[in-house]
């Protein structure tokens, strides 16, 4: 079984982009952290990052009934995309929304998410450690435990 790890626009620039907000770790670090924490719970991962909404939609459609769960940081699409919401509401496994920064301590336009009310959990402001919490939460929700 595998977990889908989706990262949206500009997250390819992690480590270079506003490090005072998002830290110095890179997308490769995030994906390695997800891979390691998923492996510890008995899952593989499929990681997708895209700056294109349609690419993310296609990835969700492809994995929506196959992935055991979804870890999603939709970046700015969080605050804009009904289409991502409509796709993610169809996934069969748990959905955990992650934001590296504490979006609630930032501009008002970041306070609303089109995903939060359809997510099983929302993790904000924990830095990239939030991805590990998300993986562990999905493992709990689907009843898998560390070997």
Contact 73, 100 (CB under 8 A): yes
C-alpha–C-alpha distance, residues 10 and 132, integer Å? 20
Applying CB under 6 A, the span of 32-40, 55-63, 84-92, 99-107 interacting with ligand DQA comes to: 99-107
| 75 binds ligand DQA per the rule CB under 6 A | yes
22 belongs to the catalytic site? yes
Closest CB to ligand DQA: residue number: 75
Residue 10 makes contact with ligand DQA by CB under 6 A: yes
Smallest separation, CB 42 to ligand DQA (Å): 27
Count of positions on this chain that bind ligand DQA (CB under 6 A): 10
Identify whether 2 is a catalytic site residue: no
What token pair was written down for 128?
């990239």
Measured CA distances, 135 to 8, 13, 40 (Å) = 17, 22, 10
User: Which residue(s) pair with 97 in the sheet?
Assistant: 72, 122
- Active-site residue identified among 2, 61, 99, 114: 99
Residue placing its CB nearer to ligand DQA in the complex, 44 or 127: 127
Residue 37 assigned to a binding site: no
Q: Exactly one of 100, 119, 123, 139 binds ligand DQA (CB under 6 A); which one?
A: 100
What tokens appear for 62 in the block?
């492809």
Q: In the bound complex, what is the minimum distance in angstroms from residue 110's beta carbon to ligand DQA?
A: 4
Give the active site residues: 22, 99
Q: Specify binding-site residues for substrate.
A: 73, 79, 86, 100-101, 110
């Amino acid at each position: 079984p595998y977990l889908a790890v989706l990262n949206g626009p500009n997250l390819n620039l992690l480590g270079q982009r506003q490090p005072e907000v998002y830290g110095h770790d890179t997308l490769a670090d995030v994906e390695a952290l997800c891979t390691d924490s998923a492996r510890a719970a008995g899952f593989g991962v499929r990681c997708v990052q895209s700056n294109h909404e349609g690419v993310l939609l296609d990835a969700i459609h492809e994995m929506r009934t196959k992935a055991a769960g979804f870890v999603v940081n939709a970046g700015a699409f969080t605050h804009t995309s009904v289409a991502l919401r409509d796709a993610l509401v169809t996934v069969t496994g748990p959905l955990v929304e992650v934001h590296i920064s504490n979006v609630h301590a930032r501009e008002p336009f970041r306070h609303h998410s089109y995903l939060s009310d359809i997510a099983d959990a929302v993790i904000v402001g924990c830095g990239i450690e939030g991805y590990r919490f998300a993986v562990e939460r999905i493992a709990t929700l689907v009843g898998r435990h560390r070997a």
